[in-house]
Copies of this chain bind each other. A is one copy, B any other.
Amino acid sequence: MMRRCELPARDLRLLDPLFVYPSTVLGRERAIVVNLEQIRCVITADEVLLLNSLDSYVLQYAAELQRRLLQRAEGDELPFEFRALELALEAACSFLDAQAAELEIEAYPLLDELTSKISTLNLERVRRLKSRLVALTRRVQKVRDEIEQLMDDDGDMAEMYLTEKKMRMESSVFGDQSLLGYNSAGAAGTSVSAPVSPVSSPTESRKLEKTFSLCRSRHDSTKGSDNTTTEHIQELEMLLEAYFVVIDSTLNKLTSLKEYIDDTEDFINIQLDNVRNQLIQFELLLTTATFVVAIFGVVAGIFGMNFETSVFKIENAFQWVLVITSVVGVFIFCSFLWFFKYKRLMPL
């Protein structure tokens, strides 16, 4: 396979299903190495080599690809490799968007539940949710960066216009030889006829120009092919732009979810702190009350001592002790309340 696409071993290693490398789109001399989520393939000018072709998701991609290529006959100016790339982007975008939507559906009710009832179970679920969110955000971010980088670099986009490169190479090698009769078979069963013939015409006209004008030929021809190339690159850029908006929208969703989680955590933290303060306020009130009651108990204890004093003989001493102690106790309690209110420790 390496020989077929003229790819070095180190590029193919990136598609190895055993390792999980981040999403990448690399333009090479004769192939585009695509590693977008599940879809790991090598796109050449007239083939798509799918690597992990047993995955149901990838099979779906292959079927869709074949279906679309059949439609192509109805007139579509995009070269083969761009169509394959578009389909890979579309598949990756919709896959990621579906995962993001799934995460959203799960997350929002869970977070709202968490604000009303904080339990270890819910916290654990939110933690797992965050792990998944971070992982998904990274993957979406990676795809987005890859698209953005491709759009920014015209050279990379030109490099991807494989059909043009192949044409040029062939025309320089075979001359006017027939360009028909290519057999292309995808490694994963994707067999499509290469979109060679319609694109070959500019090359031929270029050849004519070459014989016509000697000194200007080279300049013009490059100009001429440049025009076609530039047009196709612009189409590729527009294609990428559209999917960039889609993946950016997915990323937006995930970032919103992340910020919602962060806000919820802030809310929970302040809420927990606030509840704790209220709990401690009541505890302080109860401690104050217990203190007053303890004083009452001490008074009762004092008069329960077995000493023989004349106090016990005083008339109505029992009532007086109870009344005086009660009044003092209530006074102490109210003083504390007033003091706490004065210190603004309690919203009494």
* Residue positions of A touching B, CB distance < 8 A: 8, 10-11, 13-14, 19-22, 24, 26, 28, 115, 117-120, 123-124, 126-127, 130-131, 134-135, 138, 142, 238-239, 241-243, 245-246, 248-249, 252, 255-256, 259-260, 263-284, 286-291, 293-298, 300-309, 311-313, 317-319, 321-322, 340, 343-345, 347
Contacts and interface: CB of A to CB of B under 8 A. Distances in A.
A236 to B, nearest CB: 12
B345 A260 contact: no
A270 B268 contact: yes
B246 A21 contact: yes
Copies in the complex: 5
Contacts of A347: 117
Contact of A306 (B274, B284, B304): B304
A282 B242 CA distance: 58
A321 B305 contact: yes
Nearest to A238: B28
A22 B249 contact: yes
Nearest to A310: B318
17 contacts: A14-B246, A20-B249, A22-B249, A118-B270, A119-B274, A131-B263, A134-B263, A265-B270, A280-B283, A282-B345, A289-B291, A297-B297, A303-B305, A303-B306, A304-B305, A305-B318, A308-B313
Nearest to A159: B234
B307 A303 contact: yes
A8 B242 CA distance: 10
A243 B10 CA distance: 8
B280 A280 contact: yes
Contacts of A138: 252, 255-256
A344 B271 CA distance: 12
Nearest to A329: B298
